[in-house]
Amino acid sequence: MTRHWLSSALWFCAPFAVLLVLWAVLVPYFDVNPRLFPHLDSVAEAGLDGIKDGTLVRHVGASLLRVTVGTVLALVFAIPLGIAMGVSPAVSGFLTPPFRFFSVLAGIAWIPVASLWFGYGFGAITFVIFNAVFFIVTYNTLLGVSTIPLQVRNAAASLGAGRWAMLTEVLLPGALPNIVTGIRTGLGFAWRGLIAAEMIATNVGLGYMLFVARDFYKTEVIVLGMIIIGVLWLLLDRLLLAPIERATSERWGMVQRA
């Protein structure tokens, strides 16, 4: 089992090894202007410097903190609300269009309003992330609960399930595949919204780091930042979210939607 995992991990990294080699060789070979595209070693150096003087850690930390806080807050409200709405077919059918509408306005569109209402900084950005996650997760939770067949809920009732048991044993597990899909999509929007928001509404964070470096043509910082953003999301999505999504819906043979 571990062997298979190891070999597929290696296969996954192989193309990147090739790219890194190409980068290290071609960029100096064609004497590319470092103001246009950095050399591999200058990026590595920028990374090390950033870690040493703590700025990189600060930026990454700020970004991750905002994403975490915004997401957790959103989930705390979204999941109960989604379940409450999804339980009644009439309510869920009625409320679906508005929630789909607001899901469309994911993250980024809220930046101007957010920065006006909360000023620059932590509040505005967390608000953006909250919105990116909240509407989509509520909508998906609602959807998930409404797809639990009535007979399954009846079966639980006739087996003696009380209110609490119904929630924890039937509604939550039943909606879980959809909830996870919602979280995964929402986080995707949140991550993008975060970077965008940090470019214009704050003075710390990965987005900010990228934007400010642009002013000084410090392409090595920009590329470093891009790589970090890519790696972070890749790790989060592929190592955490996708496996959970697969585990729930495939194991249980349930079909996901939206």
Partner 1 sequence: MKNLTIRNLSKTYFDLHAGANVTAVRDLSLEVPAGEFVSIVGPSGCGKTTLLNMIAGFIPLTSGEILVGGRPVKGPGPDRGVVFQSFALFPWRTVLDNVAFGPKMRGVGRAEREKIAHEYLALVKLSEAAGRYPNELSGGMQQRVGVVRALANEPDVLLMDEPFASVDAQTRMTLQEELTRIWEQKRPTVIFITHDVAEAVFLGNRVVALSKGRVLEEIIVDLPRPRVWDDLNEDDRFKVLSGRVLQLVRSA
Partner 2 sequence: MTPLLLRAWSHYLRLTTHWPSIGTIVPFIPLIVAWWIVSELQVFPRAFLPGPAEVVRSFGSLVYTGILPEYLQDSIGRLAVGSFWGIALGIPLGILVGLSQRAHRALWPVLLFFQAIGDIAWLPILVIWFGYGLTTMTVVIVYTVIFPVVLNTVLGVRSIPIAMHRAALSLGASRTRMLWEVVLPGALPNIMTGLRNGLGYGWRALIATEIIVGTSGIGFLMFDARRAGSVVEILLGMIILGVLWYIVDSWILAPIERATGQRWGLVTK
Residues contributing to the site for partner 1 (CB under 8 A): 149, 151-152, 154-162, 165, 169-170, 173-174, 176, 248, 251-254
Q: Which two tokens stand for residue 31?
A: 């004497």
35 binds, among partner 2, partner 1, none (CB under 5 to 8 A by kind): partner 2
Alpha helices for the chain (secondary structure H): 2-29, 40-52, 55-87, 89-104, 111-118, 122-146, 150-158, 163-165, 172-200, 206-215, 219-234, 242-251
| Least Å from the CB of residue 55 to partner 2 | 17
SS (H, E, C) 20-31: HHHHHHHHHHCC
For residues 105-124, which are near partner 2 according to CB under 8 A?
105-113, 115-117
223 binds, among partner 1, partner 2, none (CB under 5 to 8 A by kind): partner 2
* Tokens 């930390």, residue located: 61
Nearest to 178 by CA among 215, 230, 141: 141
Altogether, the residues listed in the chain come to a count of 258
Per CB under 8 A, 76 contacts partner 2:
no
| Least Å from the CB of residue 107 to partner 2 | 8
Q: In whole angstroms, what is the distance from residue 132 CA to residue 191 CA?
A: 9
Per CB under 8 A, 82 contacts partner 2:
no
| Least Å from the CB of residue 119 to partner 1 | 44
Residues binding partner 2 (CB under 8 A) = 11-16, 19, 35-36, 90, 93-98, 100-102, 104-113, 115-117, 189, 191-192, 195-196, 199-200, 207, 210-211, 213-214, 217, 219, 222-223, 225-227, 229-234, 237-238
